[in-house]
Structure 1
């Protein structure tokens, strides 16, 4: 399919972003990646083992997720109609946030290449999925990001860019707000809180001011004003070992606070629970909160959230083309279960066998079913 826009992505070079991503000037870095520190938790198997090692025998069904959903009337978790292609184009990021479930950072070199992007597009053409959700890392740092966006827009898909905001301030990416606006891309931005202290505490000193500057730039090109072709969504997750607050009330509070104090407007807010994996898992262990947080998630299980879980209508594709039921399973290396002997990959994608699969679950899944629920689209109930 011919693109309706020219591929204008900056060509690859030593510093294609106008600044060394390892420098503080490129984005706040309150920590470093688990991989760079050679932490045992850099291995997904160690994360899973850490969760399984917690004694939950006193809780309903001993903290077994499959038993809880069975009690809720689901003999097994099966996919619904595929609606969303979520493509993780790489773990490279200009920030290293303390809570990051991807363990992203400037040292991560796992980046989707053009060949794999082409395979994603070929697979997309075999489905009726209406949305392409592009994530990372900072997805804008992939040198083929603009090509992917253009191709998805040309196919009439709703495109989501999951943006950390500070990336929009990099020298060679400062045209992105206008570029995205011209293509009607929804921008979903990470912002833990509408106040400086909580945001900087989680994402690094200076994050809040940079985020406000980026939001002003998005507002200036028409984002956050009620135009469905310029939709600006803020995404919040708790700064601590507790569940996300009421999403509707938060949105009202945030809209009032950001407008009054910073002159910023946005269209909607989505609230996500923190998943007990990767760097948030590391914090839970170090702070002595892991057992308590898992107990909170299990005890807050809400059966009404199961039908709306993102793993049922979303396919998650990793930077190297492997297939997963959701972004969290991807980070734990829990690949989709294929009904054939062939290992699932975007290059051998087939919608029929995808629809026949059983969704892979584990204790981490309680993060999506706790309270009002949590998905890439925010609260479920």
Structure 2
């Protein structure tokens, strides 16, 4: 039988996505040691395509903690978004309405910045682990067991365990069943997302309502565009040729409308993304804390997933510092309620954006959607509500 390797740290972090690495970075600034465990390889984690819109609060935090240099140089600051339906396109100016903007900067780039910062700090991140399991999280001596990438059993002892391991990791289920509540909604449609090697055809994102289904024109850089199409939930990606995708995008985004043109180009990546909402509470159980997708999932329409993860760990890091450095359990005990206040606000906003823009078969719903779009784009109060939520509320609101 193989001998189990044992490590010790103050905070064991499961998951090396943005939430896990940013938490490690914030704890390091407090003088608190952590070890991060990740099932995937570093190359996989840094290459996976995810969110691309950073709220003002996220940009401010990353800048404050020394992670803003490349973001400032390469990020694309946007004043707002366009809302569109056939024959109409309206601009919602976040800066004019709220004084806050958003920044287009892919999650892949945030991930790379965090990885380099953790590497420069000599932080231990163990990639390629398997069979991860949490133990004794209700005590003051929790630990994590796993198999390392050489197939050896290993154990990580800690004072606190933080689950940043998304929907399918073991942390969420480690909260005792009797103590947890969950809420979820599966939407009857998905997003077909494509990454295209072509300059954006717009200066800011276009959110388009169309009888054939929602479409979104986003971007990643001056030469890479990101597009999404509403498709049925059971869509087979093989049924969508490149030409079919471009034809659908052109129709839904209004190619030729008022002289606007959609420029096609080579597709680099295609995928189908299910749409769902999920919240689990509490986000703390004993010495286990949840952050990011381990505790909540939102449909991507409101651009909230990554920003919620950042807000979670921004609240959690000082709470753990108070617990581990001062022996003050108060902020740690308050973490779940504080985080969930923002989680539910963003869950509602994401649902609101999703249901306003995605079409169905009920003509009554169609008229409600168009009425809502017309109100949001003609009422300062309606536009300001969208702008405030999209550009992002303060982390500790």
Question: Which interval holds the TM-score relative to the shorter structure?
Answer: under 0.3
**TM-score, scaled relative to structure 1:** 0.26
TM-score w.r.t. length of structure 2: 0.25
User: If you compute each CA radius of gyration, which structure gives the higher value, 1 or 2?
Assistant: 2
Query: Which structure's residues are more often strand, by fraction?
Result: 2
